[in-house]
Amino acid sequence: GGVIGLILSAWCNDALLQQLRSLLASVNFSFVVKLRPDATVLAITLLFCLIATMLFSLGPALKATKTDLVKDLKEQIGEPARIGRLSRFFAPRHISVMAQIALSLMLLFAAGLFFRGALKAAGLNPGFVARGDIVSEFDFSLIKKTPADSRRLIFEMVRRVRELPGVTASATGTMLPYSDFTSARRVIRTKDAMPNDPKAADPSVNSLFTAITPGYCEALGIKLLRGREFTQSESENKDARRVAIIDEELSTKLFPNEEPIGQHIRYTNPPKDGSPNDMEIVGVVSKHRHSVDNDSLVCRLFVPLAQGYTGQTYLHVRLNTQDRRAVAAFIPTLRQTLREIDPDLPLLQITPFIDLMERSPNLWIVKIGATLFGAFGAIALILAVVGVYGVKAYAVACRTREIGIRMALGARKRDVFALIMRQGAMQTALAIVAGLVLSLGAGRVLAKILYDVSPSDPLALIIATLMLASAALLACFFPANRATRVNPITALRTE
C-alpha cells in the first residue's frame, strides 16, 4: 500500500508542477525544482506505513492473545457468548469506519466548496471580451530610448498592426485586467475641496489608472456609453489639454445626479512634474473587473497615453474571430510584424488574452484547490466505501449462525436485510453528524481562499452528504443482500 501511494504521489507532484509552470509563466517568473522522493522522504514514508500497520494490527493482535478457552468451547457446542447490542454497534472496527466516513465527508465538502467557487469564477462576466484578443507585453524601460521615442514606437506598432489582415482593432494600455499589477489614483471633482476634518466624509474616490491610445475600447471589448474616445493628438502630445475617460462606476460615485460629460476632476495628489491638475471628462465606458476576487467592481480612470506614460505597456490586438486555434495561429504573424518594426522591441510575452485570464493567480488558486480537494475527496470516498463494505461483510460472516437461527425461527429475507441495513444506516448517520461538524470547521479554515462561496455553503454540504451516504449505504447493500441468501440448515451445520 505504501509503495502504491508513493507512486501515486510522484504522479500527483508532476501534475502539480505542470500547474505551477503554467501559472508562473504568466508572471514572467522561472524556477527550477525537482519533486522527487529523496532518502528522507522515503524514510518518513516507510515510517508512517509501519506506524499505520502497527496501530491497526495491534488491537486485533492483543485481542487474540486474551483467548478464553472455556468461552470458545461453549460457543462451539452451542452456547454463544452474549454480546450486547451497544457493544456490537460501537465495536472498534465500526468506530474506525465511522471515523473514515466523517473525514471523507469533510474532504468531499471542501472539494464541493472549491468546485462551487471554480464554477462561479469561470462563469463570471469580466465586463470585456477576452476571446479574440491577443495581448503583447512590453517594458520600454529595458531599452535605451527616451520616453518620447518610446511613445512614437508604440504608436507605430499600433498603426502597423491595425493594417494586418484579420485585425479589427489595436490599442495599448499601461495596465492589463486580470494581471498581478495595479496602478491607482485618487480623484475628486475639481469644484470640491478635501475636508480638513479627518472625521468628515471623504468626497474623493480611488480608481484604477490606465493610460491608453485611441481605439482601446474596441480592442479590449468594452462599451463606450457616452461621449467619445481620445483623439490621436491628445494621446501623442504630452502638453495637450487634459482630458479623461471614466467608467460608469466612477461616474455614479462622483456625479450621481449629474451628466458626467464636460465635468472636471483632479487628482488629490497633484502630479510631481508640475503638469496641470485638471481633467475634463470626455467619455464614459462600461464597468469591468480587474480581478476574479474583486468583492465589487472597482472604479476606473483612463487618460491619454502621453499624459500617463510608463515603460510597461500592453498591446491589444482584436481579431475578427474568437476561435481559440485561429487566434493562436495568428501569433507568429504578429510577432514577425513587431520584429520588422524594431528587432530590439522589449517584448516580454505574447499570448491570447483568454489564456492569460485562465492563468490568473487568484483563479488558479480556486482551480487547483478544486483539483486537489476533489482528488483527496475521491480517494477518501473510495476508502470509506471499501471500509464500510469490508466491515459489513465481516460482520455478516461472523453472524452467519445468528442469521440462520433467526431464519429458522421464521424471520423473512426482508427482515434479515433490514437488520443489516438498519445498523449500517445508523452508523453512517452517526458518522455523518460528526463529519458535518468537521466540515463546518474546515470551511472556516478555508474561508479566506474560497471564491464567492460561503464556508458553510448548504448546497455543497447537502451534495457531499448525499454522495457519501449513498455510497456508504450501497456498500452496506451487498453484505445485507448476501445475508438474505443464508441457508439456515447449512449455517447451523457449519457452526
Cβ-contact 75, 27 below 8 angstroms: no
Identify the pLDDT of residue 327: 92
Helix or strand or coil: residue 29? Answer: coil
For 391-436, what is each residue's pLDDT tens digit?
A: 888 878 777 777 888 887 888 888 888 888 888 888 889 989 998 9
262-276, 317-331, 368-382 — which is least confidently predicted? Answer: 368-382
User: Per-residue confidence at 77, pLDDT binned at 50, 70, 90?
Assistant: very low
Identify the pLDDT of residue 171: 95
Nearest residue to 454 (alpha-carbon basis) of 464, 445, 443, 465: 443
Residue type, 472: A
d(C-alpha 16, C-alpha 204), whole Å: 44
Identify the pLDDT of residue 79: 42
Is the pLDDT confidence value at 288 over 60?
Answer: yes
Q: What b/e sequence results for 229-253 when a residue is b if at least 16 CB atoms lie within 10 Å of its CB, and e otherwise?
A: bbeeebbbebeeebbbbbbbbbbbb
The per-residue pLDDT of the chain, averaged, comes to 83
**pTM tops 0.85, yes or no:** no
Identify the pLDDT of residue 78: 44
Is the pLDDT confidence value at 165 over 70?
Answer: yes
7-11, 74-78, 199-203, 479-483 — which is least confidently predicted? Answer: 74-78
For 317-365, what is each residue's pLDDT tens digit?
A: 999 999 989 999 999 999 999 999 988 889 998 999 988 887 777 777 7
Query: What number of helices (H) and strands (E) belong to the chain?
Result: 16, 11
For 132-148, what is each residue's pLDDT tens digit?
A: 999 999 999 888 888 88
SS (H, E, C) 132-169: CEEEEEEEHHHCCCCHHHHHHHHHHHHHHHHCCCCEEE
